[in-house]
A and B are shown apart, each in its own frame.
Chain A
Amino acid sequence: MGDHHHGPAKGITRWLFTTNHKDIGTMYLWFSFAMFILGGTFAMIIRAELFQPGMQLVEPGFFNQMTTLHGLVMVFGAIMPSFVGLANWLIPMMIGAPDMALPRMNNWSFWILPPGFLMLASTLFMEGGAPAFGWTFYAPLSTTYAAPSVTFFIFAIHVLGASSIMGSINIIATVMNMRAPGMTYMKMPLFVWTWLITAFLLVAVMPVLAGAVTMMLMDIHFGTSFFSAAGGGDPVLFQHIFWFFGHPEVYIIILPAFGVVSQIIPAFSRKPLFGYASMVYATASIAFLSFIVWAHHMYTVGMPVAGELFFMYATMLIAVPTGVKVFNWITTMWRGALSFETPMLFCIGFLVLFTIGGFTGLMLSIAPVDFQYHDTYFVVAHFHYVMVAGAVFSMTAAVYYWLPKWSGRMYNETMGKVHFWISFIGFNITFFPQHFVGLAGMPRRIPDYALQFADFNMMSSIGAFIYGASQILFLYNVLATIIAGKKVTDEKVWDGAEGLEWTVPTPAPYHTFEVPPKLDPAHAHG
Chain B
Amino acid sequence: MDNAAALPLVLDQVVRSDPVSHGRRRLGAAILAAGSLILAAILILQILYKADAIAFGFVTWRPVLYAYLLWAVTLGISQVLRRGEAGARALFVLPAILFIISMVVFPLLFGLYISFTDWNLSSTMGRRLNGFDNIRQMWRDPFYWNALYNMVLYTLAVLVEYAIAFGLALLLHSQIRARKFFRVVFLLPLMLSPVAVSWMVGKSMMEIRFGPVANFARWLGWDTPAFFTDPWFARISIMVMDAWTFIPLMMIMLLAGLQAVPKEVTEAAKVDGANSWQTFWRVVFPLTLPVSITAILIRIIFKLKIADIIINVTSGGPGGATDSVTSFIFREYRDRSNVGYGTLLAMVYLVMIVVFLTVLLNLFGRWMRGYDQQEA
Q: Do chains A and B stick together as partners? A: no
Name B's A-contacting residues (CB within 8 A).
none
Name A's B-contacting residues (CB within 8 A).
none
